[in-house]
Amino acid sequence: MHTNHTDARAQLHAAGLRVTAPRIAVLDAVAATPHADADRVAAAVRESLGSVSTQAVYDVLRACVHAGLLRRIEPAGSAARYETRTGDNHHHLVCRDCGTVVDIDCVVGAAPCLEPGDDHGFAIDEAEVVFWGLCPACRS
């Protein structure tokens, strides 16, 4: 997870991506607000850098997901959300009312932590599980 500009710079460089102010700002914004959607990320980037187009933010998000620096999740009925926690096959818990998303560690351990009854010849390397319910605030 990113904690400062140096980490973001090093991760971009290691991924073979050009180090730019918008890319650093996007990575920092996602690190600061995990599970944020693109609009929230764009708002945070604008607070940090001033004028940045929404399309530029989408382009950076796409490049960072492709490079493995960010993970994109798409809970049903929700905008895509982004997080810096990648590569560990964790899952998510989503509140049906307010949309809060919380990370849930893999219930068995090694990826994929679930195995289908019939793999149809696929070499499965990841399972994505979304648990749905009501968060404590929405339950009260």
Q: Please state, in angstroms and as integers, the Cα–Cα distance from residue 84 to each residue in 69, 124, 127, 134, 135, following that order.
A: 6, 23, 18, 24, 22
Instruction: Name the residue with tokens 């289908």.
Output: 116
The domain in which residue 110 lies consists of 87-140
Q: What is the CATH number of the domain that holds 57?
A: 1.10.10.10
pLDDT at 4 over 90: no
Number of structural domains in the chain: 2
The mean pLDDT value for 124-136 works out to: 84
Task: Give pLDDT, residue 108.
Answer: 64
Which of 43, 60, 82 is the last residue before a domain boundary? Answer: 82
Which of 67, 82, 97 is the last residue before a domain boundary? Answer: 82
For residues 11 and 78, state if they share a domain. Answer: yes
pLDDT per residue as tens digits for the range 16-49? 999 999 999 999 999 999 999 999 999 999 999 9
For residues 16 and 60, state if they share a domain. Answer: yes
Indicate the pTM of the whole model. 0.83
For residues 46 and 64, state if they share a domain. Answer: yes
Which of 66, 82, 98 is the last residue before a domain boundary? Answer: 82
Task: Give pLDDT, residue 22.
Answer: 96
For residues 78 and 99, state if they share a domain. Answer: no
Strands (DSSP E) found in 35-125? 36-37, 71-73, 81-83, 91-95, 101-104
Q: What is the CATH number of the domain that holds 104?
A: 3.30.1490.190
pLDDT per residue as tens digits for the range 91-119? 899 998 998 999 988 766 566 667 777 87
For residues 19 and 70, state if they share a domain. Answer: yes
Percent of the chain with pLDDT over 70: 91
